[in-house]
A = this chain, B = another copy of it.
Amino acid sequence: MNTCYWIWYHGDFELYHAMKQNFSRVERGYGWPAFWKSEGFRNRVVFRKEYTLEEETTFCVYSKAVGYVLAGEKKYPFGTKITCGPGKIKISVHAGRIEAFPSIYIKGEVIYSDKTWFAEDYTNPPAAAGYSRYFTDEKQDPSVWDYSEAVYMPVSAENYEQGVLYGFETELTAVLEIEYKNGYRPLTVCCGESKEEALDREHCYYSWNPDPQTGRCPRCAVRYAYIPDCRKEEIAVKAIHQYVDIPVRARFSSNDALLNQIWSVAEHTFKLCSGVFFIDGIKRDKWIWSGDAYQSFFVNQYLMADPDINRRTLLALRGNDPLTTHINTILDYTLYWILGIKSHEEAYGDLEFVGQIYPKMCTLMEFCESQLEEHGFLTGREGDWIFIDWADLDKEGALCAEQMLFAECYHTMAVLSRKLGVETARCEEYQKKYEQLTKNINTFYWDSEKGAYIDSFVSGKKHVARHANIFAILFDIADEEQKKQIVEQVLLNEQVPQITTPYFKFYEMDALCKMGRLEEVFVRIREYWGGMMERGAVTFWEEFDPAVPEEEQYDMYGDKFGKSLCHAWSASPIYLLAKYFVGLTVTDPAKGTYEIHPHLEYFESLDCVLPVGEKDIHIMWDGKEMKIEG
C-alpha cells in the first residue's frame, strides 16, 4: 500500500507554523509576537498531475479548503468518490483557504497525493508540492500540529507560605492539569524554570488560571509550579509534556562521568528546543532565530541527524520573494541562512531541497548586493541590525565579521551551484566574487602588526575583537600563517576581551578545535557547562557567568528572570565532543562514508553511537583497543 501525504504549496506549511511559533511568546499576561515581517502563506492554490491509467480507478480528495476537483472535463466536490480511466487524464484540485494554507489529501490506489504532484500559486512557475512525514492520514489537518505527549507527575510538593510548590524532575514544555479533589475553585498557577521564579508571583513569566472545565493551563515552559493559597490535599497536579517526536540517534558514554552528564543535559536541552522548528529557548523567546538555528544544525547532525527540522526551519526563516528586510531584521542572520544550507547539504547530501530553494538563495544574495559600499563591502541600511554578538565591536563603516560571513556565502553559492549543475558562468561568477571579497578583506582588515583582523578600517581605531578572527579561521579567510598568529595574538591573548555568550563561545571553541587546541576546549567544557550543573542546571542556560552571585544568576536583559534556562545554543558540547573528540566527520552522507580521527587520549573508555546518513556508527574504546561498527 502506498503512503498518501497531505500536500500544499511548497513552503506554506512552514510559513504558517512559523507564525504560530513566533506569535506564541507570552510574558506576564501579554503576547509578544516577533518584531519582524511575518506573513506569507498562500490562500489560493491549484494542484495538478497527469496520469496514464491502465484501467479504471477511483480516488477521493479531502480538504478543509473551499474548492473542487477537476478530473478531465468534470468537476466534483471534495469528499466524493471519483472514478476515471482507463487512458490519459489530467487531474487538478482547486483550493482556497483564508485562515490557513490550503492543503489536500488524495486517497486512492493509483491516484494519490505525494511530492510528485505540482502546485501553482498564480504567480510562480509550478513547483513540486510540499509534504511532511507527520501528515499521512486523511483525518489530520496540516494546520494543526499533532504533538506527542508524555505525562510527568511532580517529584516534589512542598508547602510554602500559604501555598504549594511542585517540582518536576526536569524542565518540560507542558500543559499543567489540576485535578480538584473537592470541586473546582479559582486558583493561580505560577510557573518557573527555577524555584525562585515560580515562587515570585509578581515576576514569574507565566501565571495561569486553570480552565474551570478541564483544569488545564496553557502550554508553557515549566520545571516548578507554585500554587498560592492552596493546600496539598485539595488538588493533584500533573504535567502533560508536549513535544515533536524526533528520535535521538546518538549516544555518548565514557569513563568521564561529568562529560557523560554534560552530554545528557545538552541532549535534553536540545530536544526541548527542537520542535516544529529550531527555536532559541523554550521559555523565552520561543522564536525562530537564524543565528541560533545555524548552530542547531551542527548539533542536530551529530545528535538526531534529522534533515526535516532543518528544512522546516530554513523555509520558515526565509519567507517569500521579494525579500524586503533581513531575516529577523539582522544582517548577519540573513547570511547564516545561506551558510545553514551548506551545512545541511554537507550533513545530508540533500540536493533535492537545495535545488528547490536555490532561486531564493540567489535572490537573497542579490538583496545583499544591493547594500554594498564603495569597496564592495556589505553594510546595513537604516533599520538593519548589525549584530554579530553582544560584544563591544567597532561598528563604524563596514564591519569585518560581516564581510567574512558574506565571503563564505559566496563560497557556499559557488560550491552548491556546482553541485546542482548550474551553468558554469554563474558558478564562476560566485567563485570570483568570493575570491575578490576575501582578497579585499585581507587588504583592508588584516593588521600585520597586531597579527589580527580589525573590526573597522573606517574609524581608524584598529579595534581587535575575537569575532572576526574566529571567522577567519572557521571560513579559511586567513592563511595558515595568519591563523597561527590569530591563535597567539587573539584567542590565547587575555588582553583581548573574552567572549561572554555561549553563542559565540561555540564558534570560538570550534575554531580552537580546528586549530588543534583540544586541550583548552576540553577544560572549558568541563568548567563552563560543569559549572552550570553545579548551580543545579538540568538544562543549559542562555548565558552563564560563574562570577555572578547565585541570587542574581537568573537575571538578564534587566529582568530578574529574563534569562532563558533552556537554550539551544548551549547544547554545543554535543557537536564539539562528537566532531573533535570522538573525531567523526561525514564525507558522503548519501553513501554513508565518513572519516574518524578520535582523540583517545582524553578517554579511558568510550562507547558512542553517532549517525552518518542512514547508518548509526558504533565506536567503542576500552583503553586498549578501538572498535567501529556500522
Residues of chain A whose beta carbon lies under 8 Å from any beta carbon of chain B: 16, 19-20, 22-23, 27, 29-39, 42-44, 46, 65-69, 75-78, 94-100, 121-123, 322, 324-325, 329
Contacts and interface: CB of A to CB of B under 8 A. Distances in A.
Contact of A100 (B20, B33, B37, B99): B99
A37 B42 CA distance: 9
B68 A19 contact: no
Contact of A20 (B22, B36, B98): B98
Given A123-B324, A325-B122, A325-B123, A34 B23 contact: no
B38 A43 contact: yes
B99 A37 contact: no
A494 B69 CA distance: 45
A202 to B, nearest CB: 15
Nearest to A100: B99
Contacts of A76: 30
Given A23-B96, A38-B122, A122-B329, 19 more contacts: A16-B98, A19-B44, A23-B66, A27-B75, A29-B77, A30-B75, A31-B66, A31-B67, A32-B67, A33-B66, A33-B94, A35-B94, A36-B122, A37-B121, A37-B122, A38-B43, A98-B99, A99-B99, A99-B100
A70 to B, nearest CB: 10
B99 A33 contact: no
A67 B25 CA distance: 9
Contacts of A31: 65-68, 77, 96
13 contacts: A23-B98, A30-B69, A31-B66, A31-B68, A31-B96, A33-B96, A37-B44, A37-B122, A37-B123, A38-B43, A38-B44, A39-B42, A39-B44
Nearest to A66: B31
A32 B66 CA distance: 7
Given A75-B30, A77-B29, A78-B30, A96 B38 contact: yes
A602 to B, nearest CB: 48
The 10 closest A-B pairs by CB, nearest first: A33-B96, A99-B99, A31-B66, A30-B77, A30-B68, A37-B122, A38-B44, A123-B324, A23-B96, A39-B43
A276 to B, nearest CB: 14
A392 to B, nearest CB: 25
Contacts of A30: 67-69, 75-78
* Number of copies of this kind of chain in the complex: 2
A68 B68 CA distance: 40
A482 to B, nearest CB: 40
A42 B39 CA distance: 6
A76 B22 CA distance: 19
Contacts of A42: 39
A430 to B, nearest CB: 25
A22 B32 CA distance: 33
A7 B143 CA distance: 28
B44 A96 contact: no
A23 B121 CA distance: 15
A446 to B, nearest CB: 37
Contacts of A77: 29-31
A37 B123 CA distance: 7
Contacts of A94: 32-33, 35
B66 A43 contact: no
Nearest to A102: B33
Report which residue of A23, A69, A75, A322 has the largest number of chain B beta carbons within 10 angstroms of its beta carbon: A23
A123 B16 CA distance: 19
A254 to B, nearest CB: 45
Contacts of A33: 44, 65-67, 94-96
A324 B23 CA distance: 29
A311 B324 CA distance: 27
A65 to B, nearest CB: 8
Nearest to A67: B31
Contacts of A75: 27, 30
Contacts of A322: 322
A322 B124 CA distance: 13
A324 B120 CA distance: 14
Contacts of A100: 98-99
B19 A98 contact: yes
Report which residue of A33, A76, A78, A123 has the largest number of chain B beta carbons within 10 angstroms of its beta carbon: A33
A369 B77 CA distance: 41
Nearest to A41: B39
A561 to B, nearest CB: 15
A78 B29 CA distance: 9
Report which residue of A37, A39, A325 has the largest number of chain B beta carbons within 10 angstroms of its beta carbon: A39
A628 to B, nearest CB: 49
A44 B95 CA distance: 25
Nearest to A321: B322
Contacts of A35: 46, 94, 122
Contact of A19 (B23, B69, B96, B123): B96
A75 B322 CA distance: 33
Contacts of A16: 98
A76 B32 CA distance: 11
A32 B76 CA distance: 11
Nearest to A98: B19
A98 B96 CA distance: 16
A19 B66 CA distance: 11
